[in-house]
Structures are given as structure tokens and as C-alpha cells.
Amino acid sequence: MTTIAFIGLGNMGGGMAANQAKAQRRVMAFDLAPAALKRAEENGCHPVTSVAEAVKDADIVITMLPAGPHVRQVYNDEVAPNAKPGALLIDCSTIDVETARAVAEQMRAKGFRFADAPVSGGTAAADAGTLAFMVGCEEADFAEIDEALKPMSRITIRAGKFGAGQAAKICNNMALGIQMLATCEAFALAEKLGLDAQAFFEIASKSSSQCWSLTAYCPWPGAGPQTASDRNYESGFATAMMLKDLKLAQDAAAKNGASTPMGAQAEALYALFDRMGFGHKDFSAVQQWLRGNLSAL
């Protein structure tokens, strides 16, 4: 039986670890939060009291941590000194490309195999085992990584070498943030023009502004499929999370000389919305702000 160490059992990692256990893998689970450990135990994982204990017999180590500094610290200080030689290390957190590349090199220098494998899809996809993984790794390791991620995935795509998974993730989410704002602006203008929101949805979703933010994640309550907008923008992809990804994209753009003016604008708008106190609301809640209806939130 494959033994998996799962580190970071939060909103995303909790469901992901549970799906590994459901697939009859032995999951040694660790998180700093006792409540997360308890939930993991209820979901068939073996809770342990340290990263060292989780990784010592693991064939595969999976991490789902908040940000780059956590990933550097956990891998360098806790995973590397304690994991089995040759273990496959897969970091699924969303972090900056530089850190992903640095940690990959540090782990490879110590004899481990490594992949950055961030995900697309929120907590519902994490719970359902339908995440999309974008992977930066050695080509030779990809088949094994794909197999390791299967209980948690709808699709796994190799983006390229180390850091390529993170690069794909932040480019995707920058485009998503921009598209969501564009969709919200279009609905706000449609309203001012006296156009029925459902009629606009029907037309735009079959016309050239069609995009995921419109047809799969419509920000206008009542239009399109059921989304966070129909739950007053609760429990979706939080504004604060979108802002984190937009900041990563802008940092990467600045460091690599890319011109991303729309991404910069999206970051500024989401930063303001976050500072206004709506960081916990789904990122499509900017709809109510742009239509001048913040009191609805």
C-alpha cells in the first residue's frame, strides 16, 4: 500500500487528503491546527504530531500550505531531514515561481524528486476530487505524479520544468481576475441601459464575450447556473485569495519584464475591495460594488 504524507489540511488540503484515504492509500496527516487533524482522522487519515513523523515512511509527500515562506520552511527544515531517500515530493500550494524553482533545486540536491503542482478549482473541487493540476517536473517523473494525484484530480497536465506549474497557475488566475471584472462591468452597464440581466446573459454567453466567468461562474445573482452569487457571495473563491494570486502575477511580471497593465488594474481593484472589508467574500462579489449596491453584501 502506498504511504502518503499529507501536510496542510486546511480548506483545500482537508478534502484532498480525505480523497487519498478513500482511494485506499495510507495517509499520514499533519497540520498545525488540531481541528484540521481531527477532521482528517474522521475522514480516514492517520493524524500525527509532526512533519517528521508524517514523512518518515512516506513514498510520496504532498503539501498544501498557505504561501511561499511556509513551503520553504517545511521542505528545508522538516521534510528533507526526515523523508525517505528518493521520496516523491509534490507541493500543491499556490506560491511564487522563484520559490518553487529554489525549493525544487534544494530538494533535488538532497536526492529527492520534486514537482510544483498547484490546482485550479476551489474547495468544492477539492472535496469532490475534481481539481485540475498543472505540474512543473522532470518529464520522467510525470507518470508517477499523475498517478499520485489521481484520487484528487479531474485532469493533470504537465506545464514544463520546475516552476512551470506555478507560472501556469498565476497566468491563468490573472486572466480570470480580469475576465471577472470585465463581466461584472458589462452587467453593471447593461443594468444602467435598462437591459434585462437574464437577456444579457443569454446573448453574451452565446456571443464573443463568452468566458468562464460569465457562463460557469456568473456574478449576477439568478443569471446562469447556481454560483456563489446566488449564496450572497459566500463560500467560493475568496477575494483575498484572488488578490494573493494577482499579487504573485504582478511580482512575476515586474521581475521578468512582462507588460500586464490589465493585471495591475485588477490587482488594484481587488486590493481596494479587500481593504473595504470584503476579503472573505467570493471574488465575484465585486459585481455589487460596480453596480453601486454594496449594501446587498
Among 22, 26, 56, 70, binds ligand NAD (CB under 6 A): 70
Q: Nearest-CA neighbor of 65 among 46, 79, 49?
A: 79
Q: Closest separation between CB of residue 194 and ligand NAD, Å?
A: 36
Longest alpha-carbon distance in the chain: 65
Q: Closest separation between CB of residue 180 and ligand NAD, Å?
A: 14
Radius of gyration from C-alpha coordinates of the chain: 20
Tell me if 13 contacts ligand NAD by CB under 6 A: yes
Q: Closest separation between CB of residue 227 and ligand NAD, Å?
A: 14
Q: Is 169 a catalytic residue?
A: yes
Q: In this structure, what are the phi and psi dihedrals at residue 46, rounded to the nearest 5 degrees?
A: -100, 110
Tell me if 94 contacts ligand NAD by CB under 6 A: yes
Asked if 87 contacts 112 with a C-beta cutoff of 8 angstroms, the reply is: yes
Interface characters, 199-238, with ligand NAD (x: CB under 6 A):
--------------------------------------x-
Tell me if 282 contacts ligand NAD by CB under 6 A: no
Q: Closest separation between CB of residue 193 and ligand NAD, Å?
A: 34
Instruction: Tell me the number of residues near ligand NAD by CB under 6 A.
Output: 26
Catalytic residue among 110, 169, 206, 247: 169
Residues 111-170 that bind ligand NAD (CB under 6 A): 119, 122-123
How many beta carbons lie within 10 A of that of residue 42, not counting itself?
Answer: 10
Residues 196-229 as b/e (b if ≥16 CB within 10 A, e otherwise) read: ebeebbeebbeeeeebebbeebbbbbebbeebbb
Tell me if 189 contacts ligand NAD by CB under 6 A: no
Tell me if 44 contacts ligand NAD by CB under 6 A: no
91: cell is 507541493
Closer residue to ligand NAD, CB minimum distance, 63 or 287: 63
Tell me if 37 contacts ligand NAD by CB under 6 A: no
Strand partners, 119: 133
Interface characters, 71-90, with ligand NAD (x: CB under 6 A):
---x----------------
Tell me if 40 contacts ligand NAD by CB under 6 A: no
Tell me if 15 contacts ligand NAD by CB under 6 A: no
Among 6, 30, 133, 270, binds ligand NAD (CB under 6 A): 30
Q: Closest separation between CB of residue 140 and ligand NAD, Å?
A: 27
Applying CB under 6 A, the residues found at the interface with ligand NAD are 7-13, 30-33, 36, 51, 64-66, 70, 74, 93-94, 119, 122-123, 237, 241, 244
Please list the active-site residues.
Answer: 169
